[in-house]
Amino acid sequence: MKKLKAIVLGAGYRGRAYAEYAKEHPDQLEIVGVADPVQAESIPAKKYWSDWRECLDEKPEADLVMITMPDALHHEPALVALKSGYHLILEKPISPTEAECREVIECALAEKRLVVVGHVLRYTRYFAHIKALIDSGELGEVVSIAHQESAGFWKVAHSYVRGNWANSKKSSPIILAKCSHDFDLFIWWIGRKCLKVSSFGSIKLFRREMMPRGAALRCVDCPPAIERRCVWSARNMYVDHDELKYLFADNSDAAMQKLIEETEYGKCVYQSDNDVPDHQTVTMEFEGGATVSHVMTGFTAKNIRTTRIALTRGEIVGDGENLDICRFDDNPVETGVPLNYRLPNRSRHGGGDFNLVSETIRILRRGDPDEIRETTAQALQSHLICFAAERSRLAGGQIVEID
């Protein structure tokens, strides 16, 4: 089978995660070039550029471009790459605006190119098992889904209070940046379009008026008596513990100390430039009458997703790792994990990172125009729910119809 060649635009955590597939499967994928202004050489490749424009201007010989730059930088390189004849792995979101998302997908369809958006959850054993159960028909049709995205108190503080997605004007609304994964799952599971959305959400805690008396702007300057009691302490999150270090190319002790002393990651969570909600609820109605309620909250001890799916002849309940499956007639349920997701791999998101790349390679090798078009078009649907939900939230929960 033909080995595909890929270019990576953006050598941050997500770019490194996808590119790692080439190390594990050199017979399937080769990274021929990387463009990044700071850390391009963190991904092994034949050639490096400091700017994505220089890279695409040269039109390197490749089949696939992986765009894993900040959200606001997805739109232009996506269009240039598609018009240059490349297929895309495009980290979610497609773009922070609905118009730009539509333009990218319309361009891909016109150019007959594949766009696989980084909705990695649908490529995991756990969520693919749910899809197989629903598609089997053994439990009937989906009536309703109650789903909670427990984002984890440390993850929300890192990404959505201090980090790259803290301010929607500079990146994306949190419902798009964090929850398009989940909306993609609902569309995939139900197999129908979402028609209407209503949403509520706000910043409950991470506001200036909630700052403890006597606290400092930066955690390193905070009085020890206050910092020791603060669960959001940057020193605690980045220096004393390891949970978030994997996100940084250089995660040495010295680099982490510099991080909290000089960057946004060291600022007090009550004094950051954040404007996205720390909790948000979305209610959806789909074609055929199925309804979904989705809760995203940053005030949880674990970073997990829990799901309860009511069907006409059974029920599926999941805690993010295990599924409790019930048929109302008490007969056993035969459907299991799909074959292509049974083998474990060492990538994050439950193996979804590598499985997404593997699925992209499979689609391109197969070259079925209908599959390429359908995969590309479906990627837009989750984003349309996100934009409708944010319009609803800003309008106080008003019902928004999706076009």
Does 215 lie in the same domain as 198?
A: no
Distances (CA, A) of 308 to 146, 161, 292, 316: 5, 29, 10, 6
Confidence bin at 342 (pLDDT 50/70/90) = confident
Distance set, CA 167 to CA 105, 247, 387 (Å): 25, 19, 16
Upper half-sphere CA count for residue 157 (Cβ side, 13 Å): 25
Tell me what pLDDT residue 188 has.
97
Q: Which two tokens stand for residue 182?
A: 């989940």
Is 64 among the domain residues?
yes
Indicate whether 151 and 236 sit together in one domain. no
Evaluate if residue 247 carries a pLDDT over 90: no
Burial (CB count within 10 angstroms: exposed 0-12, middle 13-18, buried 19+), residue 26:
exposed
Query: What does the DSSP 8-state code read for residue 331?
Result: P
Place of tokens 């506001």: 207
- Name every residue whose Cβ is closer than 8 Å to that of residue 395 and which is 6 or more positions away in sequence: none
**For the domain that residue 73 is a member of, what is the CATH number?**
3.40.50.720
Q: Is residue 185 part of a domain?
A: yes
Judge if 37 and 56 occupy the same domain: yes
Give me the pLDDT at residue 343, please.
72
In a domain, 369, yes or no: no
How many angstroms from the chain centroid is the CA of residue 6? 21
Q: Domain tally for the chain?
A: 3
For 137, counting Cβ atoms within 10 Å of its Cβ (0-12 exposed, 13-18 middle, 19+ buried), the class is: exposed
Last residue in a domain, options 113, 140, 167: 113
Distance CA 37, CA 302 (A): 34
Share of residues in the chain with pLDDT > 70 (%)? 100
Query: 394: pLDDT confidence band, cut at 50, 70 and 90?
Result: very high
Instruction: Indicate the pLDDT class of residue 334, thresholds 50, 70 and 90.
Output: confident
Q: Residue 353 domain-assigned?
A: no
Least confident of 68-82, 101-115, 326-340: 326-340
| Judgement on whether residues 325 and 380 belong to the same structural domain of the protein | yes
State mean pLDDT over 42-62. 96
User: Does residue 348 lie in a domain region?
Assistant: no
Shared-domain flag, residues 140 and 81: no
| 280 shares its domain with 301 | yes
How large is the angle between the packed helices 352-366 and 369-394, nearest 10 degrees?
Answer: 140
Alpha-carbon torsion angle 262, 263, 266, 267, nearest 10: 110
- 252/388 same-domain check: no
Task: Mark which of 266, 285, 308 sits at the end of a domain.
Answer: 266
Same structural domain, 202 and 248:
no
Give 332-396 as a DSSP string. PP-----GGG-S--S-TTTTHHHHHHHHHHHHHHH--HHHHHHHHHHHHHHHHHHHHHHHHHHTT
Q: What is the CATH number of the domain that holds 296?
A: 3.30.360.10
Q: Domain residues for 229?
A: 208-266
Last residue of a domain, one of 113, 139, 156: 113
147 φ/ψ angles, rounded to the nearest 5 degrees:
-135, 130
* Domain identity same for 249 and 306: no
One domain for residues 187 and 300: yes
List Cβ neighbours of 44 (8 Å cut-off, separation of 6 or more).
Answer: 23, 31
pLDDT over 80 at 340, yes or no: no
How far is 108 from 2, CA to CA, in rounded Å?
Answer: 23
Q: Classify residue 370: in a domain, yes or no.
A: no
pLDDT of residue 395: 98
CB 88 within 8 A of CB 75: no
- Whether residue 347 is predicted with pLDDT greater than 90 in this model: the reply is no
Please give the average per-residue pLDDT across 211-240, as a whole number.
Answer: 94
Q: For all residues of the chain together, what is the average pLDDT? A: 95
pLDDT for the residue numbered 349: 82
- pLDDT confidence of 235, banded at 50, 70, 90? very high
pLDDT digits (tens, 9 = 90+) for 248-303: 889 899 999 999 999 999 999 999 999 999 999 999 999 999 999 999 999 999 99
- Determine, yes or no, domain membership for 351: no
In a domain, 368, yes or no: no
The predicted pLDDT at position 337 comes to: 82
